[in-house]
Every structure is written in structure tokens, then in C-alpha cells.
Structure 1
């Protein structure tokens, strides 16, 4: 098995969610770690994959909103400092496939499915191998007990339920 390091300068974990029924808020996590190990980078069937996100590193470019998101109203980062994803299976071919795993937020674990596109392999100008992946999923935040909301005077709610997750991943073999 080969272990792959995450190229953090070229990888990101981001999300977007409907705000006030008319726009989307975008954010991400500035600090995360991962364990990726497999026999061949093109074959995820036997891969071991785990990601841990540091909840307190959430960044929506609004300090007061970020502070609220790590509070007990949302992620409760003091009690639940990590969000964890552990791969359980894959389906499909090696270029476009489904990455299935257990996502744990606030001690609630649910199965999620990421659509993954393998972008390919290149040699960097520094003679290192780099492999790229784009991963997306849509989840309902209420399934993870992220239920805070507020009614709008004009009707509707402040925060949507569906959260779009986008992961851009660059890996380098160790």
C-alpha cells in the first residue's frame, strides 16, 4: 500500500448554503487532516481514506458568523471539535465514481455519498507526482442535529437545509 500526503496548498474543503432564501453563503475549513492509503491511486476499491476537519477553523469571511457557527447553536466545537469522514465503499469506474463513507458531526454518524472525478496525474516542475480529485455531495444539515434557524419577517427562513460540500484534493505519494 502506498500512503499519499495531502497537498494542503492545492486542496480545499468548502461548503455553500442558502441564506435568507435569496443567496448563498460560502465557507470552508482552514484546518483539516487526512489519511489516504491504497495499492494504486487509480483504484479506490481497497483504499483506506479518513478525513478530520477542525470545526474551529470554519471560515465564512465573517468573524461574527464564524463565532456563531462554532457555538452550541450549531457545531458546538468545544464539545465536538472534529468532523470525521471514513470511507466504507466505492462504486463505479476509476475516473468517475461514488465514494461512500460515514460522516460524523456532533457524534451523529450518517452515510454520505460523494461524487468523485479523478482529474488525473501530472509531474510537477519540482519532479513530484501529483494526483487530482474533485468531490461533491449534498447533505441535509438537520440530519446532523444542525437545526438552528430563524424566521424571516417576509416569510421563509434565514438558513437553508441543504449544504453543498465541495472538496478539491491534490495528493502526492510519500
Structure 2
């Protein structure tokens, strides 16, 4: 197995959720670590993938909203500082993959499957191998204890239940 390094300057770990049932709020985790081990990244079925997101690094481009998300109403950063993912099964699906693993948010662990698209491989200007992947999964935030909400005067709620997690990775062999 080869260890691969995630190039954080060319990767993002983001999410989106419905706001007021009419638009989307997007955000990301600015601080995270990732471990990718695989014999060959052109065949992810051999891979072991793990992520650790620092919840305090949440960034939705609104300080007030970020502070609310860090509070006990949502992620409760004081007691649950990290979100983790550990792959448990990877299946090839045509040209793409289904990566299933244990996602832990706020102390609750659930199996989640990411649809992963292989973006391709190439060489950077210094001759290093570079591989690209895009992954997406949808979770119900309430299943992970993220239940805060408020009812709107017009009906509906302020924050949607479904969260899309979107990961874009560029990886190279570890030095």
C-alpha cells in the first residue's frame, strides 16, 4: 500500500443545506486531515480512506452563523471537536465508486456512502503524480443529533434536514 498526501491547497471539504426552504447556505471546513492508502489510485477498491474535520474551522462566510454552528445548538465544539470518516467498503460502479464508511458527528456514528468520481491523473510541473476525485453524500443532520431549528412565519423551517457533503481532492504520493 502506498500512502497518498491530500494537497490541501487544491482540495476542499464542503457542505450545503437549504436555508428558509428557498436557497442554500454553503460552507466548508478549513482545517482537516486525510489519510489515503491504496495500492493504485486508478482502482480505489484497494484503498483505505480516513478523514478528520476540525469543527472549529467551519466557515460559511458569516461569523455569527459560524459561531452558532459551533455552539451546543449544533456541533457543540466544546464537547465534540471533530467529525471523522473511516472507509469500510469500496465498490466500483462503472467508471466511478461507492465509498461506504463510518461517519461520526457529535458522537453519533452512522454508515454513509459517498458517490466518488475519478477525475483523472497527470503530472504536475515538477514531475509528481497527481490524482483528482470528487465525492458527494447526502445525510439527514437530525440523525446525527443536529436538531436545532426554528419555524418560519410563512410555514416551513429555517434550516433544512438534508446536508450535502462535497469533497474535492487532489492527491499525490507521500514523500
TM value normalised by structure 2 = 0.97
Please state how far the C-alpha of 1:44 moved relative to its aligned partner: 2.1
The RMSD of aligned alpha carbons is: 1.0
Aligned residues: 174
Please state how far the C-alpha of 1:127 moved relative to its aligned partner: 1.4
- Distance of 1:122 and 1:92 partners within structure 2: 21
Please state how far the C-alpha of 1:95 moved relative to its aligned partner: 3.1
Question: Which residue does the alignment assign to 2:59?
Answer: 59
Residue-by-residue CA offset, 1:135-155 (whole Å, 9 max, x unaligned): 001110001010000010111
Gapped regions of structure 2 (runs ≥ 5): none
Gapped regions of structure 1 (runs ≥ 5): none
Task: Report 1:1-174 matches (<5 A).
Answer: 1-93=1-93, 95-174=95-174
* Equivalent residues of 2:45, 2:92 under 8 A apart: no
Please state how far the C-alpha of 1:41 moved relative to its aligned partner: 1.1
TM value normalised by structure 1 = 0.97
Please state how far the C-alpha of 1:33 moved relative to its aligned partner: 0.2
For residue 3 of structure 1, give the secondary structure of its aligned residue in structure 2.
strand
- Distance of 1:58 and 1:93 partners within structure 2: 32
* Equivalent residues of 1:85, 1:101 under 8 A apart: yes
Residue-by-residue CA offset, 1:67-118 (whole Å, 9 max, x unaligned): 0000000000110000000000011247301000000001100000000000
